[in-house]
A = this chain, B = another copy of it.
Amino acid sequence: MPSSTVENYLKQIYLEQQAQQGHDLVAMGRLAAAMTVTPGTATTMIKALAEANLVAYEPRSGVRLTRAGEQLALHVLRRHRLLELFLVKALGLDWSEVHDEAEHLEHAVSDKVLQRIDDYLGHPAVDPHGDPIPTSKGKLVPQNHQSLAEVDLHRPVRIARIADQEPAFLQFLHKSGLTPGVALTVQARDPQADNVQLKLTHKSPALLSLGTAAAAKILVEST
């Protein structure tokens, strides 16, 4: 059974690979920063994971998950995301705080309990942030959402996913009514001013101004 440290490394490599669309070699520096360990620690750990055939390691260029490593990572991600949704739905926790809770529980929950949680929730496809939940077989349906930083002006869209887990940012979104499912359009965009203007379809106040960095973290789908 892999330790929770191993599970965390694999999960993080998976997430970094996703974040680098296409470019699947994750640099050691990136990984070390994401894990908040020193680069030397990451190197040591990755050499052990490579020995166990969970990653392919290319010294001085980076690391990538093997099939086995990816399966394990998806299993961890499934536990994490089902737990997040369960904490919100069954225990009424705030969506801004469930990420950190799930971070601990994901290493302690058995397959049996996870199965029950999945049944309880009715086999959901996404977690409270719109992140897709891998199946028990380790499959994850690829999403391809545009963000508010790039979607066409005036196109009617719905918020599908928030690509950030920071409690403070999530609380701001909640306060502003920018939660998954909400319908809106981008009214204007000014790259010079680093500004995006939103119009919420069924809310008031209906107008909102965001920086590009924040807009890029809000993913949408056409309605």
A residues contacting B by CB (< 8 A) are 87, 90-93, 97, 101, 104-105, 107-110, 112-113, 116-117, 120
* Of the residues B90, B93, B116, contact of A93 by C-beta under 8 Å: B116
For the complex, give the distance between the alpha carbons of A107 and B105 in Å: 9
For the complex, give the distance between the alpha carbons of A201 and B112 in Å: 35
Give A166 Cβ to nearest chain B Cβ, in Å: 18
Known: A116-B92, A117-B91. A105 touches B109 (CB 8 A): yes
For the complex, give the distance between the alpha carbons of A141 and B131 in Å: 45
The 5 closest A-B pairs by CB, nearest first: A108-B108, A91-B116, A104-B108, A105-B108, A101-B113
Copies in the complex: 2
> A87's closest neighbor in chain B, by CB?
B113
For the complex, give the distance between the alpha carbons of A93 and B119 in Å: 12
Given contacts A93-B116, A105-B108, A105-B109, 14 further A-B pairs with CB under 8 A are A90-B90, A91-B113, A91-B116, A91-B117, A91-B120, A93-B112, A97-B112, A101-B110, A101-B112, A104-B110, A105-B105, A105-B113, A107-B108, A108-B108
Q: Which B residues lie within 8 Å of A91 (CB)?
A: 113, 116-117, 120
Q: Which B residues lie within 8 Å of A110 (CB)?
A: 101, 104
Q: Which B residues lie within 8 Å of A112 (CB)?
A: 93, 97, 101
Q: Which B residues lie within 8 Å of A120 (CB)?
A: 90-91
Give 5 A-B contacts (CB < 8 Å), ordered by A residue: A87-B113, A90-B90, A92-B116, A101-B112, A108-B108
Q: Which B residues lie within 8 Å of A113 (CB)?
A: 87, 91, 93, 101, 105
